[in-house]
Each structure stands twice: as C-alpha cells, then as structure tokens.
Structure 1
Amino acid sequence: MTAPAHTPPLPPPPLTGSARLWGTLALSAATFMNVLDTSIANVSLPAIAGDLGVSPTQGTWVITSFAVANAIAVPLTGWLSQRFGQVRLFVASVALFVIASLLCGLAPNMTLLIAARALQGFVAGPMIPLSQSLLLSSYPRALAGLAMAMWSMTTLIAPVMGPLLGGWITDNMTWPWIFYINVPVGIAAVMVTWGIFHQRETEQRALPIDSIGLALLVIWVGAMQVMLDIGKEHDWFESPWVVACGLVALVGLVAFVVWERGEDHPVVDLALFRIRNFWAGALATSVGYGLFFGNVVLLPLWLQQYMGYTATQAGEVMAPVGLLAMVLSPLVGKNIAKVDPRRFATLAFLVFALVLWMRSNFNTQADLATIMVPTIIQGVAMAFFFIPLVTITLSGIAPDRIPAASGLSNFMRITAGAVGTSVTTTLWERRASLHHAQLTEGLHQGHLPFTQALQGLQAGGLTPEQALAQVERLVNQQAFMLAANDIFYASALLFLLLIPLVWLAHPTRAASGSADAAAGAH
C-alpha cells in the first residue's frame, strides 16, 4: 500500500496593521545590512591592510572570503528551511551575522578577520531568500507586488550606499566600525522578527543530509569565486593557478549537476530549471544584474582614478541612483497585478540601455551635472527591474518550493554580480591598453602638435621629463575614458538583447501567479 503524498499545512493569514509594518521594516533592515556588507569593505581595504600589516592584495581576501561563503550558503536555503523552519533559520542567521560582525571588528590580525568574514558570509546566505519569502507571506495576494517593491529597494540601494558609507566611516572613524554598525541593526531585527513571526513557523521535515552534493557545491563554487578574484591580478588564463581553479570549478559543476539530478533529497533543487518562467526570469535577472553591478563598479573607479574625484565625491555621484527607484517602486508594486510583468521588465531594460548609451558619450570634460543625469534616470530602470522579474521567476511554483527557488535565483544573481565585476574591470584595462597604443602611434618628435604641446608645457616651467609625463597622463586619461565608453556602449546593447529572453516566459499576472505561490509560501 503506497503512502499518501505529503500535503503541506495551510499558510497562516497575512499580517495586518502595525505587525505588518514592523515586520516589513525588520526584514528589510536585515536584508539591507546583509547586502551592504557585500560592498562596504571595498573602499576600506587600504586602511584594513595597513592597520593589520598586510599588502592590499592580501587584503582583498576580506572581500573574497565573504563572497565565497555567501555563494555556497545561498542555494542551501531551500533544504535548510525545510529542515529547521523558515522563521528559526532566518532569526538564527541574523543573530549569527551579528556575532560574526562583532568578531570581524575585534579581529587582531588578517587571518582571524578572513575567518570571521567567511563565517559572516556563510550565515548571511539564507537571509535574503528567507526575507523575501517571509515578507511575501505577510501580505495578501493583491499586495504581493508592493511587498516586493519594499524588498527590491533594499537590495538595489544597499550596494550603492556601501562604498559611500564605508568611505565616510573609514575617513571619520576607524575601519572596525564598518562591522560594528551591524550589531544594533541586527539585534533590533532579531527581536522584532521573532516577536512577530515566531507563531508563523513553517513545517519542518527531517530531511537527510546530501553530504556529497554539499561537498561538490563547496568545491565548485569556492574554486569559481577564487578564480574570479585572482584572475585579473594573475593575467587570467596565462596563470596556471587560474587555469587550475577554472578546471576544478568546471569539473566540480558537472559532477554536482549529475549527482543532484539522481539524489532524492538534493541540497539544491535543480528540477526548478524545468519550469520555463523560472529559468527565463532567473537568467534575465542574473545577466541584467551582472551588467548593472559591473557598471556600478566601473563608474566610481573611472571618476576616482582618471577624473580627480575623491572616494566620497564618487560615492555622492552614485547616491542619487536610488531616488527615483524609491518613488516609483511602490507604484510598480501596486500595478504589477494589472500589467504583464514582461512589459515592465522590457521598460527596465530599455531605460538601462538608454542610461548606458548616455554614459558612452562622456568625455574628460564631463561636468558633475552631465555625469549625474544618467545616474538619476537609472533609478527608473531599477524600479522596474526586480519586482517584475521576481514575479516572473516565482510564478507557478508551489508554495513549499518558494524558498528553494528564491535561494537558487539569488545564488545566480550574486554569482553574476561577481562575474560582471571581474569581466568589466578586465575588459576596461585591456581596451584602455588598446586605445593607449592607438593614441600614441603618431606621437614622436617630428609630429608638429606633439612638439608644440611639449614646448608649451616647458614654457610653463616644466622640465622635458615633466612635460613628457604630463602628456602621458593626458593620454592615459583619454585611453581609460574611451575604454569606459566602449564598456558602457556594449552593456547598452546587451540590455537590448535581454528583452527577447523575458518574452520567452509565459504570460503571468502577479495576483494569480507568483503572488499566489508567494503569499502561500508558508
């Protein structure tokens, strides 16, 4: 006699009034704190490396250790949430994140700091997918879009705010405070979340541990993240270390996929890729986010290294990116049930393409207003990006699979962000070398404009060597500006090419598709 199929219990009703408001604030604060920590340490690396007596290159492991551990933990969310319950897992993740943050700030040497950052990244893994799932379960189906609007603002604005806040703290306080600021936020989030959600715990199932699948996941994700981190520094596949990491990642990935497909209780539910809306939505989100994040990294680098901006000024240029996103996201959320989300996503990609085309026309005389206008317009694209794509990705997925689907799609997005950063910065430097060679081809002593420029500089009081150095600086500035223009233009074209991918998904309405599943995630 066959056992009856497992039927999950009915989800609790949505929250109302102040409980929903405080629940939303607590979940959003925890998500913001998590995403902020992926970028807040970037501008503080020189200070951290100097204080702990290591080279800036060794200091980059502060970033890598967090990224590797986080990328491994995120796709485990589905399995862990079934094993321990979504509320318990989320609260434990935030509490452990606070402890890890405290350990980071107290670390007396680089070894312990890297270990604490790895712990911080690992325990942070389930926070974003579960905050998404718990938030959606707090709202009625008609308001699921609004819930996603609140969630998406934290995940889009935090990466931009990270370098700005990290730079200010490093300049005005000491670097451990970039970690200490998590402590009060995390404690408040734990208390409020547990107080509101502890009676809404999900069903727990004693699932066996897929130890081989977990080991393969650790191997291939770890190798891939290390390859992305050390690639540029070691001239990519010219280095045997990078080649070795790449091969380990590739073989590990193939072995992981083969093993997980035959496993009864896999750590990652790869069967989700059989759902067209999931793979189309997750792929569009990942590639779009990779392009967005790569350009978020590139613009401040160009401003600081070749346009004379300080870290704080570059951060201020990036800050307005969230203004229109904050205004428009609630409107998108309220109307997502009435409009085909594929139309909204198409608008996002068109606006991203417009913004990047505008940036591809920058020159070295670009003033603050010229640089700021595309940044402000980008807020429109950000508002229409996450909410529709999450709606498409999660549509038609059973409620008990939402955490697994959210974890897997977020893993793809985080990985794409790392790939986007590595590819963008590498291509920028290579295109700059090409432009530098082209610009200097005609510069020789018999070239009249070049000779006149040198004479003019020497007439201004510079020595011949100083005059040549000044010309070299100007050529470098032009080369990197032209290289940045190339990256912006190519990114604009890629955003346009993403539009057909969105339309491969089946039509869905938030009220009857993902919202049904999302609101029933418990």
Structure 2
Amino acid sequence: MAESEGEYGGANPWLIAVLVSVATFMEVLDTTIANVALRYIAGGLAVSGDEASWVVTTYLVANSIVLCASGWIAQMFGRKNFFLVCIALFTVSSLLCGFAWNLQSLLVFRIMQGLAGGGMTPVAQSILAAAFPPAKRGQGFALYGIAVVVAPVVGPTLGGWLSDNLSWHWCFLINVPVGVITLALIYLIIPSSEKQRQERARLWAKGLNFDFVGFALVATFLGALEVVLDRGQVDDWFGSTFIVTFAIISAAALIAFVPWELSRERPLIDVRMLTGRQFGTCFLIMLATGALLIATTQIVPQLLQERFGYTATLAGLVISPGGLVTMVMMVVVGRLGSSVQPRWLIALGAAIAGGAMLDLMRMSPDADYWFFALSRIYLGIGLPLIFIPITTASYDGIPPNKTDQASALINLARNFGGSIGVSISQTVLARREQFHQSRLSEHVGSWNPVLHDTLAQIQGYLGTQNATGSKSGSAMAIVAQMVQNQAALLAYLDVFVALGLIAAAMIPLALSLRSVDRSAKPVMGH
C-alpha cells in the first residue's frame, strides 16, 4: 500500500469521510432534535413533562453503556460490519420510535436507538483514521468535526419545525430515508480491509476474551442509576421502596465492578485510569460539562414553551444562535490551544458558562427572544473552551494502547453527565415550584391589603357581574393563576442557580490539572 493511500486502498477517502460524517450527523442530531418536541410528546402520549424528558435521558444512558464495548466489537467483527449494523439498528429503531403507541414503547425504542448511536461515533472516527493517510488525516477529521458541531445547532430548530408543522413523530421518522441511503452507500463504497480481516482472524484464534461480567455490571450500574434519576421525583425519592431497591442494585453493581475490573488482565474499563489525578479530573469536568450542555438544551425550550408561549420552532431558534457561535469558537479555541495551557482555557470556559447561567437570573415575565438567545450565545462561547482543551488534557500521559479506553470514558462522561443534568433540572424544578407556590400562597389572605387592591383592579377589568356567578370568584382564579406562574418562574431561576453551581465547581477542578507537555508527540484516540 502506497504511503499516500489509507487502509482502504484506492477508495476515495473524501467520499468515505462524507458518508461517515452524514451517519454521525444523524446520530448526533438525535441528541437534541427531540428536546423541543417534548411538550408535543407529553401531550400525544398523555404523560407529564417530567416523564417526557426520559426520552432524552434513556437515549444518553444507552449511548453510554455501549461505548464501553464498542472498541472490542469493532475489533472482533470489523469496523465496517459493526458500523453497518449500527446504522441499520439506528434506522429501524428510528422508524419504531416514530410509530410508538405509548411512553413505554417509545422508551424501549429510544434505548435501541441509543445503543446503535453509541457504537457509531467511535467507529466512525476509526474508519476516518484508516481511510486517510497520516498526512491528510487532519483534513478528514475537520470535515467530520463540522458535522458533529452543526448537528446540535440544526437539531432544535428542525425538531421544532417538524413538531409544529407535521408531528413529533417526524423527529424520528426523518432518520429513516437518510439511514437507508447511507447504509446502502457505505456498503457499496467502503471496501473491506484485508489488514483488518487478518487482525480479526488473529484475535478470534485467541478466543472471545471479552469481559462479559464487567459489561453486565457497568450496564446494571448505569441502568439502575438512570431509573433512580428518572423515577426519583415521581416516586418521592427514597420514600419509595421502588427507588430504594434500584439504588441498592446500582450501588451493589458499582461495588462489585471495581474489584472485578482491577483483577482482570484485559478489563472492560481500566478503573486505574479514573484514579489518576489528570484523567480522573478530566472525567469529572466532562461529566459536569455534559450536564450543563444537555440540561440547558432541554430546560430552556421547555421554559419558553410552557411559560412564554413560544412554538417549538421558535424555541428551537432560540438555541440556534448559540450553536453558530460554538462553530466559530471551535476554530478560535483550536488556535488558542497551541499556545495556552488547557487548564486556563477550561477554567475560562467554565466561568463564562457560569456567567451565562447567572445572566438568566435577570429573567422576568416580559423577557424577549434576544434575552434567551444572548444567554445561549454566552454559553456557546464558554463550552468550546472546555470541550477541545479537555481532550488534550485527558490524553496527556496516556500510553497509546490506552487511548481507546480514554476516548470511551470521556464520551461516557459527557453522555451520562447529560442524563444526570436533565434529572437534576427536573427535580429542582418540581421541588422548588412546590416550595415557591407554598410560600407565595401564604401572602394570599383576606388580611393582606395588597390582595384587596389587586382583586379590586381585576374585578374592575372583568366588568359587571354576570348571571352565572360572582366576578370576585373569577378574580381569585386569576390571582391563583398568577401565583402559579410566578412560582414556576422562580423555580426555573433555581434550576439556573443549580446549573451555575455545577459550572462554578469546574473552575477549581480545571485549575488543579497539570500543565501539558507540548513537546510530546500527540496521541489520537478513536
């Protein structure tokens, strides 16, 4: 094979890059496209908004679980074969999501979709690395990076438009034609790699050598923890036997997982990596970053639709300007990374993200479109300052044979952090709305002169008493609605405070990272 060719010989690497990027675009799109449609999903399936948010979290958790095994599956069965299976499963599960008849069926199909999507992302990067010769590999990853960055920008707006003009089902059905075409083209255009075939034969000769016990334990830990996070608010947390049971299952799986992995010669997850200061800190920062990114992408459209009367399309358009800024910042941060240590960039990004949450504390009932869009733009400036440097910092000191593990763990942290962030946001929102409504209701009494003045003004607005009842009753109903709306807005402010504290916690973590040795040869994970 010539030096100017990649592993796939004479196949056009740019065509391979386009096909792989389209498939990845489709997968990343589904992490955000459903966020603005949750209100429609809740109404269509007759469930609460809190329950509808499980559509987002189940996808992320399934995505996280399969990341742990994706490297082994790709090695044993071939990158191309595994990629094709993932695209096929993703396409079929998208079709099933579009025809889901209740919440339970939708969640099952979203889990299938998440399992397929979790395998696609790391394998796509491996295919790209194999398709291009080393000298041109950076250009291929640049094209891939554009797809990964653009998808979250397009997702909310596209999801909103589809929900408003067609139905929420089309947020999933739109994947079907794209998936079928991409599947066929990848099968026909990407050749099988003789080098990979020989490697697979060598590995199969050694036996499966897969850590099935470790995979079962980590899947049980993450799955049970997700049940606790998703059902906790509905079932009164640890006042519920159901929640306590799943919390015990999750804890037991984690406790068993750690010593099991430490005793394996080829562990599913190298737990020792997480105990290292540099990588362990990076893992925590990415966990917090995922929480901040996914939670804000879910909670802001929910706020706009429920309390400000925005359509799903307009709520999606509020998110989009921040995504465009993120695209520009990716280029800027890429240049800054060559001269500024990652810890300083990450700390700055966390401070800006925290400032964006602080800015939302100025929210009032008459806040306009640009108030929310600008806050998202601030977040779009801050998050790239974390995402790109954290990759550099996390690989620092990691030997080449551990880069696949590092990549899987960092992706797992981002996805599962997002699930945790959504669950925290929904819990804070529900609990604090109850709290504020209780406190505000204490001031609605006959002894309060302000209430009398307010009722008099409302009654004057309503006009004369009609034949069916007293206008004072209608006035009290309006006051009750005002109290409920005010309590909800105060609860959303509390959510932004909680997310701001998460951003603030990243700053000391970032500053504790060691300086990266720029003279060392960079390593590339899949």
Structure 2 equivalent of residue 179 of structure 1: 172
Structure 1 equivalent of residue 423 of structure 2: 422
Question: Aligned to 2:524, which of 495, 513, 517?
Answer: 517
Structure 2 equivalent of residue 36 of structure 1: 29
Question: Aligned to 2:161, which of 168, 172, 179?
Answer: 168
Question: Aligned to 2:478, which of 452, 466, 470?
Answer: 470
1:108-127 equivalences in 2 (<5 Å):
113-127=106-120
What are the superposed Cα offsets for residues 438-471 of structure 1, whole Å, 9 maximum, x if unpaired?
3333332222221111011011116222211222
Q: Paired residues, what number?
A: 508
What are the superposed Cα offsets for residues 112-171 of structure 1, whole Å, 9 maximum, x if unpaired?
655443322222222223334444666788988887766566556545643432332233
What are the superposed Cα offsets for residues 173-218 of structure 1, whole Å, 9 maximum, x if unpaired?
2444322322333345445656357449654433423222222223
Structure 2 equivalent of residue 98 of structure 1: 91
The one-letter amino acid of 1:496's match is: A
Task: Please give the alpha-carbon distance, in whole angstroms, between the structure 1 residues aligned to 2:328 and 2:191.
Answer: 28
Could you tell me how far 1:359 is from its partner in structure 2?
0.9
- Using the size of structure 2 for normalisation, the TM-score is 0.84
Task: Please give the alpha-carbon distance, in whole angstroms, between the structure 1 residues aligned to 2:320 and 2:134.
Answer: 33
- Cα gap change, 1:158 to 1:238, in 2 (>3 Å): farther
Task: Please give the alpha-carbon distance, in whole angstroms, between the structure 2 residues aligned to 1:227 and 1:353.
Answer: 27
Task: Please give the alpha-carbon distance, in whole angstroms, between the structure 2 residues aligned to 1:232 and 1:175.
Answer: 25
Task: Please give the alpha-carbon distance, in whole angstroms, between the structure 2 residues aligned to 1:49 and 1:152.
Answer: 33
Matched residue SS, 1:393: helix
2:497 maps to 1:489: yes
Q: Is the 8 A contact 1:95 1:190 kept in 2?
A: yes
- Cα gap change, 1:108 to 1:301, in 2 (>3 Å): closer
- Cα gap change, 1:353 to 1:152, in 2 (>3 Å): farther
- Using the size of structure 1 for normalisation, the TM-score is 0.85
Question: Aligned to 2:506, which of 494, 498, 511?
Answer: 498
Let me know the Cα RMSD of the aligned residues.
Answer: 3.5
Could you tell me how far 1:248 is from its partner in structure 2?
0.7
The one-letter amino acid of 1:268's match is: I
1:404-415 equivalences in 2 (<5 Å):
404-415=405-416
Q: Is the 8 A contact 2:353 2:382 kept in 1?
A: yes
Matched residue SS, 2:462: coil
Task: Please give the alpha-carbon distance, in whole angstroms, between the structure 2 residues aligned to 1:467 and 1:142.
Answer: 73
What are the superposed Cα offsets for residues 230-276 of structure 1, whole Å, 9 maximum, x if unpaired?
12222222221111111111111111222122122333332332544
Could you tell me how far 1:322 is from its partner in structure 2?
0.7
2:95 maps to 1:80: no
1:64-463 equivalences in 2 (<5 Å):
66-105=59-98, 113-135=106-128, 154-155=147-148, 158-159=151-152, 161-190=154-183, 195=189, 198-199=192-193, 202=196, 203-204=199-200, 205-206=203-204, 207-461=208-462, 463=471
Mean Cα displacement is larger for which, 138-147 or 364-373? 138-147
- Cα gap change, 1:494 to 1:96, in 2 (>3 Å): closer
Q: Is the 8 A contact 1:281 1:392 kept in 2?
A: yes
Matched residue SS, 1:365: coil
Task: Please give the alpha-carbon distance, in whole angstroms, between the structure 1 residues aligned to 2:254 and 2:239.
Answer: 22
- Cα gap change, 1:475 to 1:158, in 2 (>3 Å): farther
- Cα gap change, 1:249 to 1:147, in 2 (>3 Å): farther
Matched residue SS, 1:442: coil
Structure 1 equivalent of residue 468 of structure 2: none
- Cα gap change, 1:45 to 1:441, in 2 (>3 Å): closer
Could you tell me how far 1:490 is from its partner in structure 2?
4.0
The one-letter amino acid of 1:164's match is: T
- Cα gap change, 1:490 to 1:175, in 2 (>3 Å): closer
Q: Is the 8 A contact 2:455 2:475 kept in 1?
A: yes
Task: Please give the alpha-carbon distance, in whole angstroms, between the structure 2 residues aligned to 1:33 and 1:176.
Answer: 16
Matched residue SS, 1:387: helix
Q: Is the 8 A contact 2:160 2:315 kept in 1?
A: no
What are the superposed Cα offsets for residues 339-379 of structure 1, whole Å, 9 maximum, x if unpaired?
32223222211211221111112122222222222222222
Task: Please give the alpha-carbon distance, in whole angstroms, between the structure 2 residues aligned to 1:15 and 1:396.
Answer: 31
The one-letter amino acid of 1:474's match is: M
- Cα gap change, 1:158 to 1:218, in 2 (>3 Å): same
The one-letter amino acid of 2:515's match is: P
Could you tell me how far 1:419 is from its partner in structure 2?
0.8
Q: Is the 8 A contact 1:149 1:332 kept in 2?
A: no
Matched residue SS, 2:234: coil
Task: Please give the alpha-carbon distance, in whole angstroms, between the structure 2 residues aligned to 1:487 and 1:121.
Answer: 26
The one-letter amino acid of 1:243's match is: V
The one-letter amino acid of 1:476's match is: Q
Matched residue SS, 1:337: coil
What are the superposed Cα offsets for residues 305-340 of structure 1, whole Å, 9 maximum, x if unpaired?
222223222222122111111122123234433432
Task: Please give the alpha-carbon distance, in whole angstroms, between the structure 1 residues aligned to 2:483 and 2:459.
Answer: 18
The one of the two structures with greater contact order (alpha-carbon pairs below 8 A, sep at least 6) is: 1
Task: Please give the alpha-carbon distance, in whole angstroms, between the structure 2 residues aligned to 1:163 and 1:444.
Answer: 43
- Cα gap change, 1:504 to 1:21, in 2 (>3 Å): farther
Task: Please give the alpha-carbon distance, in whole angstroms, between the structure 1 residues aligned to 2:503 and 2:472.
Answer: 47
Task: Please give the alpha-carbon distance, in whole angstroms, between the structure 1 residues aligned to 2:10 and 2:226.
Answer: 43
Q: Is the 8 A contact 2:8 2:192 kept in 1?
A: no
What are the superposed Cα offsets for residues 395-453 of structure 1, whole Å, 9 maximum, x if unpaired?
33333433332122211221111111111121122223333333333332222221111
Task: Please give the alpha-carbon distance, in whole angstroms, between the structure 2 residues aligned to 1:44 and 1:239.
Answer: 30
